[in-house]
Chains A and B, each alone.
Chain A
């Protein structure tokens, strides 16, 4: 009775978060949580970001880190050692195959910080095994994967939070309040940027993977390719087989503020320009500029900062142009220009949006309350779609028209073909 047991475990955690009146208590107010009441977490993918997950979740008093997984035994060993140096009595098992973690009934949550081409499949398989997921961005490798994630989330009543940690910060909340206050008038144009592009990574010869690294498992559903160190680990995202470079990496961080504040709808066309690096085997964009047409809104992505005062000093940013003023922001700053005045806040706009208790805290609270968190899958998927479409336009080198209701390109079979990618055997994308 897998399902039954899963629900029991969920109910159990959920009940411990309820007070006597049935009102959910903010669990972080507890200082001492009995071990059996703790949310049991496993971390999959133990590079820099996976280790950050470990630190964040391990620091929550009602969480117990119980399992670690990586296809690289060196990383796995180092991370285990690091955890034991922070939490001496940690009872943590290590795995090289994430499916063994999914088989464990005593684990409630997995976090996923693998390369992008694994994100969707691991999340879906986790949902199916009754686990909730804190998953790194980008959400998925293809549009089809995102759709399958949402279906499986709903079918299994799972909780998912995308790892867009900036979302929880105060600045995005304040910018949202200002934009939604209408002080800038109707927003007609948004300019997003992130400087930098893929390095070429040179032309290394292929090598035999080290004995400590399961290269076949690293590739997973991606096409088979010979091993060379730069394809793997920290530089994988510069290969289109696994990711989409700096653009795919940072789109959701900065597009997040646009979705949070004005939530554009009705995307109709996407036109990308760009180039790949020429000095190496990497093929993700060296630079990419994209023009998006939404209903009543033009959105521009550029690799170089747009010609806006101060933008040249910001490596990432969002600039909102409204009928009565503009607002330029990044993760922590905000500059508003109204009627020739340059200000950092509009004090008369009230604080109406409840601040996040912290991105991981919010997720663990959601696991207990069974309410979807702030960077939930429905939201994250919608926010991620334009990035995927822009990558397709970049690859095909042409403007594409999009039917946002059908989630299909109009009159371009090749572009529609790239909305999905068949998995390499034995992996299959669950319906």
Chain B
């Protein structure tokens, strides 16, 4: 292993990115410091932002005593995602401060907020498997506090679904990690040796929970809806990418051709891209709509990832593409979410700048020429060119349709948000953080070396046209749909698949014959219902084992049984 000796300032920035939010979170323990900490909490992401701008790629610090030897630093993937992550957390922090109610729940909220932020930075900067796992777990668990913040029924239900999926993801990740090839004592991120199919499946599912992979996407719509706007911005903008980064880190991408996995990812991605839009279009709540849009966009990113299995030789190119796409999506999604929050607060009521400002991220997701979306679409397209011709033909046909679908969904979003816009009661104003966000979102792609190739390619006349027509088509289709009275179409309940699954589960529990029902209070409700029915048996078993005679008999029996087994 090469030893790295980074200079003082980069090292300090890397450490502060992770530790400053942690320090601020622990400062909340002091009642006297609470209001001050809440005031400065958006700045907690500042070291991360500086880190992404000033620290060169390849800066690493080794922390030999941490966990089983940790390493933090920036490689291509980390530095690509760090910028958008830091910006999103800053905006989320500003939004959280705007809506703070200055009560005791606020302290709890900001504690979880800062912990989740630290987890997010930590996992982006982690360069070894266990550190990644550590910060991923920190972020996942802390996010629970953000989701249930409102404590209403919807929030608690969303929290329940979320935490179940988090535990599911955690154990899948644990199992995957012990199966991945590598040394136990200092697990590296560099996978050498063959990864088993089971491990690949587990990695896909474990991070799919975060990244909205079908069918473990069900918590996404619920949690986007349940939390405050700030939580939504962070979830949609930054934390979604944690799942993506997990795939990039742990899947054996670009190593050898695994056609089977490539095709599975490709199909899953394509399906998700259209499924997300289809379900999203029926939604009345713009937050839920954005969740489905995320599921759909993530599908497109999975298509790029499948290139790592299908054409491993050109994987570096595809990885750059997926990073560009992820950064673009995260900023656009964050801006769209922030837009909803601003309209709910009423500060921007009737403001023209707000209305037209929303057009920017919405159309950018659709891939309008000159936006970051057009560049991201270009990157996607260039990846598809590395696929075998048989697949290419299909994708050339389907991807523009996906762009049309996405644009349709965004128009639907705009119509929902705009129609909720109230008449101004007082003089409305636009927070400057929103403007900064929009400007960055529009401009960053043109100054980003990683996106250079795609950016210039997207400006060629042919490409401009390719990017333009889906948007125009979608806009005209929307007019038609609207004429049909789209609003009357049935709304698919948020969490789609979850609804029948929960219903079947309860049915199944009802089939178990009923017994006396004592008051169990620790187990989760559904599990409890099942166990309650087995209770008398359960009790009898325990009582029996405490019986004195049982002691004698069990010794004899056990000696016999073990003896037979040992033979």
**Is the A/B pair a real complex?**
no
Interface of B toward A, CB cutoff 8 Å = none
